[in-house]
Amino acid sequence: MSVQKEYETVKELLTNYLEERKFRKTPERYAILEEIYKIDEHFDIDYLYNLFKKKHFSVSKATIYNTLELLMEAGLVRKHQFGKVQAFYEKSYFNKNHDHIIMLDDFEIIEFCDPRIDEIKNDFEEAMDIEIESHSLYFYARKKKVDNKK
Select the residue interacting with DNA from 6, 11, 13, 18 (CB under 7 A): 18
Pair 116, 130: CB distance under 8 Å: no
Which partner in its own copies, DNA, none is near 29 (CB below 5 to 8 A by kind)? Answer: DNA
Given 61, 121, 135, 143, the residue binding DNA (CB under 7 A): 61
Is residue 23 at the binding interface for DNA, with CB under 7 A as the rule? yes
Rounded to whole angstroms, the Cα distance separating 70 from 65 reads 9
Partner that binds at residue 1, options DNA, its own copies, none, CB closer than 5 to 8 Å by kind: none
Under the binding rule (CB under 8 A), the answer on residue 129 touching its own copies is: yes
Helix axis angle for 3-20 and 27-36, nearest 10°, is 140
Contact 49, 33 (CB under 8 A): no
* Cα distance between residue 72 and residue 79, in whole Å: 7
- Cβ proximity of 143 and 103 under 8 Å: yes
54 binds, among DNA, its own copies, none (CB under 5 to 8 A by kind): none
Among 142, 147, 148, 150, binds its own copies (CB under 8 A): 142
* Shortest spacing between CB 30 and DNA, in angstroms: 9
Give the Å distances, CA to CA, from 32 to 21, 45, 134: 19, 11, 24
Q: Indicate which of its own copies, DNA, none lies near residue 44 (CB less than 5 to 8 Å, by partner kind).
A: DNA
List residues binding DNA (CB under 7 A). 18, 23-29, 44-46, 58-63, 65-67, 69, 85-87
